[in-house]
Structure 1
Amino acid sequence: MFCGFTTDPKMYRWECLLLVLPFVIGRGSAQDTCGYKKCAALPVKPGYVNVHLVPHTHDDVGWLKTVDQYYYGANNSIQTAGVQYILDSVIPQLEMKPSRTFIYVEMAFFYRWWQEQDGDMRDRVRKLVSNGQLEFINGGWCMNDEASTHYNAIIDQMTVGLQFLNSTFGECGRPLVAWHIDPFGHSREQASLFAQMGFDGFFFGRLDYQDKANRLKYRNMEEIWRASPDDLGAAADLFTGALYNHYVPPGGLCFDIGCKDQPIEDDMALHDYNVANRVGIAVNTSLDQVQHFQTDHIMWTMGSDFQYQAAHTWFKNMDKLITHTNSMADKHKVNLLYSSPSCYIYHKNKASATPPGVKFAHNNTADFFPYADQPHAFWSGYFTSRPAFKGYVRRCNNLLQVCKQLEVIGAPKFSDKVPLPTSKRFREAMGVAQHHDAVSGTEKQHVANDYAMRLHAGAVECQVITSMTLQQRMVKAGALPPVAEFCNYLNISVCPLTEDEFTKSFTVTVYNPLARRRTGYYVRLPVTGDAYAVNDPEGNNVVTQVTKVSQRTQEIRGKRGKAKHELLFPVSAPALGFSTYFVSQSQNSSRSGKQPKAGDDQEIHNEHLSLLFDGKTGLLKSVVNLETNLTLKVNQGFYWYNSSAGNNKASNKKSGAYVFRPNSTEAMPILPQQSVITSVVDGQLCQEVQQSFSPWVSQVVRLYSGQRHAELEWTVGPIPIKDDLGKEIISRFDTDIMSDSTFYTDANGRELLARVVDRRLTWKLNQTEPVAGNYYPVNSRILIKDKSKQLTVLTDRSQGGSSLRNGSLELMVHRRMLYDDGYGVGEPLNETGVFGEGLVVRGKHYLLLDTPESSGQLHRALGEQLYMAPSVLLGLAGGNDPKQYRKEFRTNYTAMKRELPSSVHLLTLEMSEDETVLMRLENQLQKAEGGAPQNVTLTGLFEPFEVEINTVEELTLGANYPSTMVQRLAWNTEGGRTKSEALRCWDSGSATVSLQPMQICTLHFKVQQRD
């Protein structure tokens, strides 16, 4: 272990101290001028327009080039960009003059650069950070998308970056301001998360062009965003600013080596002497901009995409611009200065606090979706773009949470010669995947492939950790651990172990990552036999069902699988634990299935729901909740919008990776002449209706015994394009619900927001695209309701959705384009699959019908179960019968001594590098869903270890700062002064966590392993 950089010989060396403390305060010396300390010393001038110049670079963590290509500057035929050269170039320029500043954002790049530096360069950088010249803003592994991301993954990627900064630079490395200058629309939940991370402000560059014009007119570009008005309240309020000039420099004042603006030529002997012209632009721009803001402080973003590879061109010209403009400041009352977003917000806050003070607006409870940068250009297509990758990201997040839990519960120990796999690679890959040009689907195809490859590499390591840890926990004294492996293609009924004709028996181990018992989960496995017997962990017989593999599944998998049937059976598993089931072939057939009678209505049901399908069309026609006697008339089918090719009379804007622009407001049905029903399965465990809408669109509607929801498994692709038409495919539900043009979507999997067709809460909308302009991101659920009925559809990935007419609800499931929409990608969104044809995507919707009053808790619980699904591992039984197997191996295990309350979710359980544990507990119910305060006592909570209560520390949501030390800037608003303290959750005296509705509690502690 290397320990270095000592400030005092009597003190511990900082590098060593970081291994035992979760945070470091004031790394360096008493002369630190980082954070807000440096801001008070900036040369601002009262009564002047103070222009805060913010030198910055925006470095996409993959977009047109891969992450590696961007870092090294490779593949410059696509884009000239090399991040390593930016950092190499900026550091010496900052050292030349102490007044110069620079901000950096993307830790995925900075971490890589930092690992390559020697001790001398690291010390130089630490000095720049300590004196406030180099400031880290945002601090996440990437600048994440806000529409297609799940809050769990957002928190994780921010944590990876923030903890790196904390362990490397201490307090001076802690970002104070969030900086999302490029994501394509902004989520209310994102603002809430940033507030809970302790940020004082949030700046972004993209907002709807009509919204921006309205805000400029009424000087409302900056406000206090009410990010959780009904639950967290003031704790989630956040100062928010929309940047005046996107995130680029003012017109005429770009000084990067790639810019075309004129440099400042200040030698009076030159014929091209242009100081007056350059200063004139600066002054006029300043005086114009300040008219749209509430104080005499304004910000200029001096940089853009991958700029500062030759940093001297920027700094030399900015030095001159500041000098010459300020030399005439008494005449025009404009003062230019090097600054940062944190110093800008610091002086904004002083202006708010100083009498008479500025009162900022405090009434925005909406979000900034959908985003349009011009008429007919709504960036709502990317809510669905690359649906297969969006689904893969969601599944990987599920596996990552399992992996991190098992690292805490007890990772396997290898010999010294074999390195121990960790979740580090997977955490970083998942962090990269949250980038606003990754999970969003707005990258080039080769970059999308690279993202998927990185996720796969991390997933493989975490599957090893999962398998080995569970094997370790299965073992009894003297027994060799059984092999447990994953089957990664169960969605197309492929699993070599179970479908091998020589496999007569095998084990199924189900790990449950929830902190409460999971029951009623159904395992579906491809098999070759006709009948199977299943024994549960105690040796009891389990009811099974064998169903023929559908024709569509056989077509999709091709030669990759040979199973004729699927074995289905229910399983349960204890909280944070596993159960092992024993499967063997038997002689008693349990196959199920029947052919529907032409013209007759078809009905399937279980204890809770009944679904009726029309005998002529085969479409779903009604849903009945058998417990409440609610009947919903519904017609569900698939439709397609014709993607604009840019030949519309109103605009030449095309549909593409970003933009959704249909050629018509009416979607066309995908419906054959005859009934869409091809088969009906009437089994004891599952009843299903198989539907075929076309050779490239099919669906299976299932009702599992005991479940309160219907499962709609849709399969779409290859989308045909031989007719030269791009297509955007939707699943639509037309019902008799009187929804009054209102529907509800979730924000990043958490709080619900009401959406009203053709309406915005903060300005009067001139609607140019009646369909695309009413599409919103659906990360986990969308619903419509009236006084008596509520229809909710949950998704297994992020999608775009809407309700364009009363009682109607639609979700876009797939899209394939023939043209690029002109926003930089330079290629159409035309994904292909394994065999070079258009991509086939399979996913699931979960349909629930209930009263509005009783829906909240049920739907929230189901959403939790979907994104924290059990991990299923398979192993050969080794010739043992179930009784013998139970003698040799544990078939049940839980890491919890008691379950958490039903509304409390174990959001995070992970091991830190210093072998302490990071845990997050979440009260996942909103007040409107019946959410109430919840308490959890940590003493005696876990089986494998005991929490050392005296080491427990409450941190901010990003796990990089003690919540007890949080003092956020307070603001004067129209509704009073905002609060500065964090919402606390930990009571050390009673060893209890207290959670308000929607509150997330982040704790860091040491553990004592039990014998």
Structure 2
Amino acid sequence: MTASLATAAGASAMGLRSGLGFLMGAALVAAAAATCGYQSCPVTKPDMLNVHLIPHTHDDVGWLKTVDQYFFGVRNDIQHAGVQYILDSVIPQLLADPSKRFIYVEVVFFARWWGLQTEAMRQAVRQLVAEGRLEFVNGGWCMNDEAAVHYNPVIDQMSLGLHFLKEAFGECGRPRVAWHIDPFGHSREQASLFAQMGYDGFFVGRIDYQDKAQREALREMEQLWRGSGSLPPPAADLFTGVLPNGYNPPMSLCWDQICSDNPIVDDDSDENNVESIVAYFLGTAAAQAKHYRTNHIVMTMGSDFQYENALLWYKNMDKLIKHVNAKQLNGSRVNVLYSTPSCYLWELNKANISWTVKYDDFFPYADGPHQFWTGYFTSRPALKRYERLSNNFLQVCNQLEVLAGAQANVGPYGNASSSVLRQAMGVAQHHDAVTGTAKQHVTNDYAKQLSTGWDACEVVVSNALTSIVGSKENFIYCTYLNISVCLLTEVASTFMVIVYNPLARPVGWNVRLPVNGSHYSVLDPSGQAVLNEVIPVSNFTRAVRHDRGDAVNELVFQASAPPLGYTTYSVSRLPGKEPARSRLLKRLPHQPGADQLSWSIQNEHLRVLVDPKTGLLKEIQNLDKNISLPVSQNFFWYNASAGNEENSQASGAYIFRPDTSQTFPIAKGAQVHHVKTQVVEELYQNFSAWCSQVVRLYAGQAYVELEWTVGPIPIHDGLGKEIISRFETDLQTAGRFYTDSNGREILERRRNYRATWNLSQTEPVAGNYYPVNSRIYIKDQKVQLTVLTDRSQGGSSVFDGSLELMVHRRLLHDDSRGVGEPLLEPGDFHHGLVVRGRHLILLDTAESSAEQHRLWAQQEFMAPQLVLAPGQGPPYQPGQDNVKEFSALHQALPSNVHLLTLAQWEPDSVLIRLEHQFERGESANGSMPAVVNLLNLFSSFNIITVQEMNLAANQKLEDVNRLIWQPAEGKSSTLNVATVTDWMGHICCYKRKMASGDQKTHKSLGNTLC
């Protein structure tokens, strides 16, 4: 019997669904004795203005102090904060008074605290959760950023935190409200993800100051956010509310030990201030209510790392509630109560009114004139790249952990699991981590946590490969290949290269390895020779790597790898044959009869022309489509503002503010070197001592690769600098350009324009910057120019026909947003950070570019992993054959279906997410439905049960029952949620592994799905 599920239907692609197939057992709390959720909410008064006080703490997962420093409360000379004491203090207050409530967000902190508690304390906390008095909101490992993150690790970190809450507290631990009160702008994709995770509402704290003023005037502080243009409503619709005061309490009403506001004095004393505070509170509530549409408003009573002494807060809030509500006897129509975000949301839903609909996102964010938080889109570019690479390696680690089973965790290379890197990646998604907005020592700690996770996953991958390959090899992970450093390949005369492909479709990959020989043999698994070339290591690379390697050459060859599998290549050094030599192309005036109009490099698909007078990119030609586009590219820098008479705002880790719109070229031209081989053709452009680039075309590839190296950025002139790579064309773009939203759907951007208010632009450059996670492009009616990035960066089109990406920044002033340090980044040698990265340039027709561009972007994000070994290792088990090529799939997935997740979830359960990755109408072929036969998909294990879950894998899909909201644009859809998600285009299933050939497989799967 064949069981299959459609991953898309017609006009509804880009959805996500997740699944798992295990049942939580006795460890969960049976909440029959108490009621959590909306049924546990306090009674409100329908004829009054109900003020919901929300006691909360905002605990950054690293910022001014490291995660450990924040949890344990050390280094209070930097910032007074100790998360363990917050939870120690709050819980007794809740236990002592059933009326009190509290919310908690960051699960990484709570999980650590939970591990230190006695069973008696744990049971008491379970009871608080079961009664709805301790409520988890958001529930991810951290409160992730929304600009510099990709949707894949966002889903992972949410799933990590929510899985912990489910194990500890069962259904009562499942958050119903998303709570992003501190991220610096909000993405549409984030709303879509939360909706598909089953959340009923989303509360945010920071939106643009002009946007907020408009919303307050129109009473649109709360509305319905349509998170996807591809999913049918209400699948990606999410009720979204803007909190009135960020996430702080009203002025004069902060009663934490770090606050200086007066407590409420209500006895017979000259200091008695009840009447003045009550009058002030009533006035504040009345003013706030004017901006909201129901008789319910919310006040966030807490802030950063507050409630170490919870008694102070609760004692004063008790008095506030008592004395304000006592005024009802004198005719007051204000009712104050302890509440939670979900209880507030429940009251809004019961109001049964229609809400306006938002279709765009909340970028860029500004908190005042000249104060655009767009610098962090690029800040700390090396950390941003490390985070991206770490996610790539985590997915490889997750997959091999499943494919090898228990042998991956306990094997000849030691005992380890993917959880170390998974948790480190969860921390890295925090809105002061991947953003680059933490202090330098905290940033170092983020990198250290990722490195520790890499170490653990290297053990997992080595164990897994040993069992699959069938031989015990000394596996080597060369993490400095981008600067041509790898001890094994530099010294060994023979070695093996395993190219592991984490994608569920076959891929080709260009391998570059540092070597000291000049002639090599490369053999594929069948013993066939693979074309390869040896080229000199560039002077650029020698300068960057310093003394970390001594390879004089690079071995280059094209590899291929099967879907979800690997190919092994055998490499041997041979005598003789000199490598290809580079030659300096001097700038010469045009000579009669000589071709000095342009230099060029070319392959089967593309031709790239360079101006011989400047050495700069001049034109790109798509030979397949007969398209030619004049494209000039150069590196420029903005002079970072230190503040001026107009506004004191300086450019810093958060904020981008050039002193003028003028840019300065790093150089007006470049010295150019040329390398041409059968495998690759390259032009090396040297702009200055601290800026260089390689323009590269590999044989057969349909994109231009630009490998740029920038840094250390000089500051001896006393100027901070923001470095951009700018492309200029003659395309008529009418102020429009396009960026991705967290690596998924594409959003149109318009210069000096906001869809929901009339923008008063104060920063014509910074105010037009947007986050770019994977791609940015410009186009006219015929031609599209796309740039793919290898990390998150800020990008824009500041004038028609242009496109720019900020690649690096080094600043001399703090921007007064709390971090208290200029963004100087010392780098490895304390002279300043050097960053190397890649941009892939794609030129195509506007109507046919989408499909291949999305697939290439995905391949950049989930790149093959190279694992090296000397080879000739002994068999893993006696008589076991060496497996030189392997695929875990019986057949590749359709090109429009992506295997987003394959990870061990429980000892006998596997989490799988399949994703339809094309938007509605994006591609004639790619946006079409796809069918996947789950029964016969994997070659490494069989499926015996399937349980379909929501995206976060913390609730059965059949149990998802989200609140229904009425959009002002028309009637609300009453479609059953399960029906909607059947259309969404993603399948995530849980599967149990078992020996092949089990006869129960077909029957069980058939019954589950059919």
1: CA distance between counterparts of 2:849 and 2:296?
A: 48
1: CA distance between counterparts of 2:424 and 2:34?
A: 34
> What amino acid is the match of 1:900?
L
Q: Percent identity?
A: 54
State the SS of the aligned residue for 2:234. Answer: helix
Report the equivalent of 1:890: 883
Q: Which moved more, 1:415-424 or 1:132-141?
A: 415-424
Deviation at 1:975, TM superposition (A): 2.0
State the SS of the aligned residue for 2:247. Answer: coil
State the SS of the aligned residue for 2:312. Answer: helix
1:512-552 residue CA offsets vs partner (Å, 9 max, x unmatched) = 10111112x11100000111110011100100011110001
Structure 1 residue aligned with 2:579, among 591, 605, 608? Answer: 591
State the SS of the aligned residue for 2:747. Answer: strand
> What amino acid is the match of 1:751?
E
TM-score by length of 2: 0.93
> What amino acid is the match of 1:515?
A
Report the equivalent of 2:542: 554
1:512 aligns with 2:501: yes
State the SS of the aligned residue for 1:138. Answer: coil
2: CA distance between counterparts of 1:78 and 1:25?
A: 40
1:625-670 residue CA offsets vs partner (Å, 9 max, x unmatched) = 0011111101100000000011x22101000000000011011111
1:605 aligns with 2:602: yes
Report the equivalent of 1:494: 485
Structure 2 residue aligned with 1:620, among 594, 617, 622? Answer: 617
Q: Is the 8 A contact 2:28 2:168 kept in 1?
A: no
Assess, with a 3 A threshold, how the Cα gap between structure 1 residues 868 and 137 changes in structure 2: closer, same or farther.
same
> What amino acid is the match of 1:465?
V
Aligned length: 960
Assess, with a 3 A threshold, how the Cα gap between structure 1 residues 309 and 233 changes in structure 2: closer, same or farther.
same
Deviation at 1:985, TM superposition (A): 8.1
1:635 aligns with 2:626: no
Q: How does 1:236-635 map to 2 (within 5 A)?
A: 236-267=236-267, 269-330=268-329, 331-352=331-352, 358-362=353-357, 364-411=358-405, 412=407, 420-475=415-470, 480-500=471-491, 503-519=492-508, 521-587=509-575, 589=577, 591-595=579-583, 596-599=585-588, 600=596, 601-635=598-632
Q: Is the 8 A contact 2:408 2:461 kept in 1?
A: no
Report the equivalent of 1:936: 932
1: CA distance between counterparts of 2:949 and 2:973?
A: 18
Assess, with a 3 A threshold, how the Cα gap between structure 1 residues 742 and 657 changes in structure 2: closer, same or farther.
same
Report the equivalent of 1:6: none
Q: How does 1:116-131 map to 2 (within 5 A)?
A: 116-131=116-131
Report the equivalent of 2:192: 192
State the SS of the aligned residue for 2:443. Answer: helix
1: CA distance between counterparts of 2:970 and 2:433?
A: 40
> What amino acid is the match of 2:32?
A
2: CA distance between counterparts of 1:875 and 1:385?
A: 36
1: CA distance between counterparts of 2:75 and 2:975?
A: 48
> What amino acid is the match of 2:273?
N
Deviation at 1:345, TM superposition (A): 0.4
1:669-723 residue CA offsets vs partner (Å, 9 max, x unmatched) = 1115xx5133111111111100011100000010011111010000000000000
2: CA distance between counterparts of 1:665 and 1:916?
A: 55
1:774 aligns with 2:768: yes
Q: Is the 8 A contact 2:736 2:751 kept in 1?
A: yes
Report the equivalent of 1:660: 656
Deviation at 1:929, TM superposition (A): 1.5
> What amino acid is the match of 2:935?
T
State the SS of the aligned residue for 1:811. Answer: strand
Assess, with a 3 A threshold, how the Cα gap between structure 1 residues 794 and 985 changes in structure 2: closer, same or farther.
farther
1:1005 aligns with 2:984: no
2: CA distance between counterparts of 1:767 and 1:472?
A: 60
> What amino acid is the match of 2:324?
T
Deviation at 1:980, TM superposition (A): 6.4
Assess, with a 3 A threshold, how the Cα gap between structure 1 residues 460 and 417 changes in structure 2: closer, same or farther.
closer
1: CA distance between counterparts of 2:307 and 2:976?
A: 37
State the SS of the aligned residue for 2:53. Answer: strand
> What amino acid is the match of 1:785?
K
State the SS of the aligned residue for 1:804. Answer: coil
Q: How does 1:143-154 map to 2 (within 5 A)?
A: 143-154=143-154
Q: Is the 8 A contact 2:55 2:102 kept in 1?
A: yes
Q: Is the 8 A contact 2:692 2:709 kept in 1?
A: yes
1:378-420 residue CA offsets vs partner (Å, 9 max, x unmatched) = 0000000000000000000000000000110014367699962
> What amino acid is the match of 1:899?
A
Q: How does 1:163-174 map to 2 (within 5 A)?
A: 163-174=163-174
Report the equivalent of 2:14: none
Deviation at 1:973, TM superposition (A): 2.1
2: CA distance between counterparts of 1:438 and 1:620?
A: 35
> What amino acid is the match of 1:180?
H
2: CA distance between counterparts of 1:70 and 1:26?
A: 29
1: CA distance between counterparts of 2:285 and 2:971?
A: 29
Deviation at 1:46, TM superposition (A): 1.1
2: CA distance between counterparts of 1:328 and 1:278?
A: 12
Q: Is the 8 A contact 1:252 1:281 kept in 2?
A: no
1: CA distance between counterparts of 2:624 and 2:140?
A: 47
Q: How does 1:691-702 map to 2 (within 5 A)?
A: 691-702=685-696
Q: Is the 8 A contact 2:21 2:947 kept in 1?
A: no
Assess, with a 3 A threshold, how the Cα gap between structure 1 residues 853 and 23 changes in structure 2: closer, same or farther.
farther
> What amino acid is the match of 1:506?
F
Q: Is the 8 A contact 2:256 2:309 kept in 1?
A: yes
Q: What is the root-mean-square deviation of aligned Cα atoms in Å?
A: 1.9
> What amino acid is the match of 1:111?
A
Q: Is the 8 A contact 1:730 1:811 kept in 2?
A: yes
Q: Is the 8 A contact 1:19 1:913 kept in 2?
A: no
2: CA distance between counterparts of 1:914 and 1:727?
A: 51
Q: Which moved more, 1:326-335 or 1:84-93?
A: 326-335
2: CA distance between counterparts of 1:204 and 1:308?
A: 21
Q: Is the 8 A contact 2:683 2:695 kept in 1?
A: yes
Q: Is the 8 A contact 2:409 2:417 kept in 1?
A: no
1:214 aligns with 2:214: yes
Assess, with a 3 A threshold, how the Cα gap between structure 1 residues 624 and 983 changes in structure 2: closer, same or farther.
farther
State the SS of the aligned residue for 1:494. Answer: coil
Deviation at 1:25, TM superposition (A): 12
Deviation at 1:254, TM superposition (A): 1.1
Report the equivalent of 1:12: none
2: CA distance between counterparts of 1:286 and 1:43?
A: 19
2: CA distance between counterparts of 1:722 and 1:452?
A: 28
Q: Is the 8 A contact 1:235 1:982 kept in 2?
A: no
Assess, with a 3 A threshold, how the Cα gap between structure 1 residues 902 and 982 changes in structure 2: closer, same or farther.
farther
Assess, with a 3 A threshold, how the Cα gap between structure 1 residues 415 and 223 changes in structure 2: closer, same or farther.
closer
State the SS of the aligned residue for 2:636. Answer: strand
1:355-386 residue CA offsets vs partner (Å, 9 max, x unmatched) = xxx21102x11100110001000000000000
State the SS of the aligned residue for 1:650. Answer: coil
2: CA distance between counterparts of 1:218 and 1:207?
A: 15
Assess, with a 3 A threshold, how the Cα gap between structure 1 residues 26 and 343 changes in structure 2: closer, same or farther.
farther
State the SS of the aligned residue for 2:964. Answer: coil
Assess, with a 3 A threshold, how the Cα gap between structure 1 residues 25 and 222 changes in structure 2: closer, same or farther.
farther
Q: Is the 8 A contact 1:577 1:893 kept in 2?
A: yes
Q: Whose relative contact order is higher, 1 or 2, with alpha carbons under 8 Å and at least 6 apart?
A: 2
Structure 2 residue aligned with 1:905, among 891, 898, 907? Answer: 898
Q: Is the 8 A contact 1:967 1:980 kept in 2?
A: no
1: CA distance between counterparts of 2:979 and 2:608?
A: 45
